[in-house]
Structure 1
Amino acid sequence: MGRSHALSGWVAGLVVAPFVGLNTVAEVVPFAVATAGYALVPDLDHPGASASRVLGPITGFVSGAVRAFSGLLYAITKGPRDEDSTGRHRHASHTLAAAIALGFLTSSVGATGGWRAVLAVALFGLILAADVLGDWVLMVVVGTGAWTLAGSWLPGTTVTQALQGGLAEIGSWIGVAVAVGMFVHCLGDSLTRSGCPWLWPLPIRGETWYEIRLPRALRFRTGGWVENGMIAPALVVAGVLLLPGAWPLVQQVFDAILSTTSVWIAGGQ
């Protein structure tokens, strides 16, 4: 589900950004890129996941540490009706508590480290997202960056200053992007047959690690036709239309096509 996780993170970032006061493309795109990338972070608890392999031995080491911690936490906190499991995959990193914790950490980093810290967090998110979505993600980021500069250029403003300005406005809000991305991942896993215990440590029916999931008839298989044929395409469309200024542009194009069609029909009569 790597692609769907990243796409849903991107869409969630575009939706959430205006609610925290981020409205320009220079602010929204880095925020959404971070949300898209960190929507893959929970899967660091799986050695074969893209997040675990993207930086080779570095993320591989982090993955091993996450799995070990998750297994230990599961052994210590499991309830009387929790299944007999290693607790390594879809456990500690797949919780709302983990999303909030990493969100607070990166928020502090963004607040104290300034635009450089925000850039570092966003760049890691970009690397993660591009690894599963492909190089077109880089093209989107560069293209939207050019769009921003063309639309809001001020005399005497350099490209570097424009970039720094957007990142500085994000500041501590970068932690929200990280937390939202991780939580969106959990919600996505809750749509599958396996479910996700993101309400840990709240005990439910004797289970501390109770898997939240949809009713049986609405669940889908990871990598199946529902995900690839319906969910992913819908997320791509939403991810484009939610970009700042994208919807008015689409309306203008539609109006232009409608006007041209009307003239053509009138001329034909």
Structure 2
Amino acid sequence: MGRSHALSGWCAGLAMAPLVGLTSVAQVVPFAAATAGYALLPDLDHPGASASRVLGPITGIVSGAVRAFSGLLYSVTKGPRDEDSTGRHRHASHTLAAALLLGFLTSRLGAAGGWRAVLGVALFGLILAAHVLGDWVLAVVVGAGAWSIAGTWLPGTTAVEVLRGGLDEIGSWIGAAVALGMFVHCLGDSLTRSGCPWLWPLPIRGETWFEIRLPRAFRFRTGGWVERLIIAPLLLTGGVLLLPGALPVLQDFFPAILSTTSVWVAGSQR
């Protein structure tokens, strides 16, 4: 489900950026790229996940630590009706508490470290997203950066200064991208048959790790046809339409195509 998580994070980031005052391409695209990448981060608790393999042994060690901590936390906090489980996968890292905590820490980092810290957080998210979605993510970000520079270039400024300006504007909001991405992952897992205990530690029906999920008729299997043929295409379409300036371009593009087609058809009938 990695691609769906990353695409949903990308869409959520594009939708949220304007709500926090980020409107230029140089601000929105790095913000959304970070959200897409950190939408994969909760799966650090699985050794085979992309987030656990992206940086080789480095993320592998982090994955082992996350699994160990998650198992310990589960054994200490499980309720009387919680299932007999190791508590490693889809537990500690798949909670709203974890998303808010990491979001807060990265927000403070962005505020204290300035554009360099924002760049570091965003780059790691971009690496995660590109590892799952492919190099087109890098092409979009680089293209957006070039577009932004071309549109905001001022005499006496350099390309680096223009990019730094966009990252400075993101600042502490980079934490919102991280938290949103992780929470979107939890919501996505709640659509599947296994569910996700993201309301921990709120006790529900005697369970501290109660799996939030849709009614049985609406659940789908991870990697099944519903995800591949319905959810992923919808997310990909939304990810394009939500790009800054995409709708005006499409509104001009399709009438132009129809007009050209009409002229060609009329000419061929003569």
> TM-score, length-normalised on structure 1?
0.97
How far apart in 2 are the matches of 1:154 and 1:238? 33
How far apart in 2 are the matches of 1:105 and 1:168? 17
Task: Indicate yes or no: 2:234 matched with 1:234.
Answer: yes
Deviation at 1:261, TM superposition (A): 3.5
Equivalent AA in structure 1 for residue 136 of structure 2:
W
Deviation at 1:251, TM superposition (A): 0.8
Aligned to 1:185: 185
Equivalent AA in structure 1 for residue 8 of structure 2:
S
Equivalent AA in structure 1 for residue 115 of structure 2:
W
Aligned to 2:84: 84
* Counterpart secondary structure, 1:256: helix
How far apart in 2 are the matches of 1:257 and 1:105? 48
Aligned to 2:161: 161
Kindly indicate whether the alpha-carbon contact (under 8 Å) linking 2:106 and 2:178 is maintained by their aligned counterparts in 1: yes
Aligned to 2:248: 248
How far apart in 2 are the matches of 1:207 and 1:195? 14
Aligned to 1:70: 70
- Please show how residues 72-151 of structure 1 align to structure 2 within 5 Å: 72-151=72-151
Aligned to 1:11: 11
| 1:8-63, Cα deviation, whole Å (9 max, x unpaired) | 00000000000000000000011001000000100000111110111111111111
| 1:165-224, Cα deviation, whole Å (9 max, x unpaired) | 100000000000000000000000000000000000111111000000011111111111
Unaligned runs of 5+ in 2: none
Equivalent AA in structure 2 for residue 125 of structure 1:
G
* Counterpart secondary structure, 1:202: coil
Deviation at 1:263, TM superposition (A): 4.0
| 1:83-132, Cα deviation, whole Å (9 max, x unpaired) | 00010000000000000000000000000000000000000001101111
Deviation at 1:155, TM superposition (A): 2.5
How far apart in 1 are the matches of 2:58 and 2:113? 23
Equivalent AA in structure 2 for residue 129 of structure 1:
A
How far apart in 2 are the matches of 1:188 and 1:69? 23
How far apart in 2 are the matches of 1:149 and 1:262? 37
Moved runs in structure 1, 4+ residues, more than 6 A?
A: none
Percent identity between matched residues is 81
Kindly indicate whether the alpha-carbon contact (under 8 Å) linking 2:149 and 2:163 is maintained by their aligned counterparts in 1: no
Aligned to 1:204: 204
Kindly indicate whether the alpha-carbon contact (under 8 Å) linking 2:152 and 2:162 is maintained by their aligned counterparts in 1: no
Aligned to 1:176: 176
Deviation at 1:149, TM superposition (A): 1.9
Deviation at 1:152, TM superposition (A): 2.6
> TM-score, length-normalised on structure 2?
0.97
Equivalent AA in structure 2 for residue 51 of structure 1:
A
Q: More deviation in 12-21 or 251-260? A: 251-260
Q: More deviation in 145-154 or 51-60? A: 145-154
Kindly indicate whether the alpha-carbon contact (under 8 Å) linking 2:103 and 2:177 is maintained by their aligned counterparts in 1: yes
Equivalent AA in structure 2 for residue 41 of structure 1:
L
Deviation at 1:265, TM superposition (A): 5.4
How far apart in 2 are the matches of 1:53 and 1:256? 46
Deviation at 1:238, TM superposition (A): 0.8
Unaligned runs of 5+ in 1: none
Q: CA RMSD in A?
A: 1.2
Equivalent AA in structure 1 for residue 243 of structure 2:
L
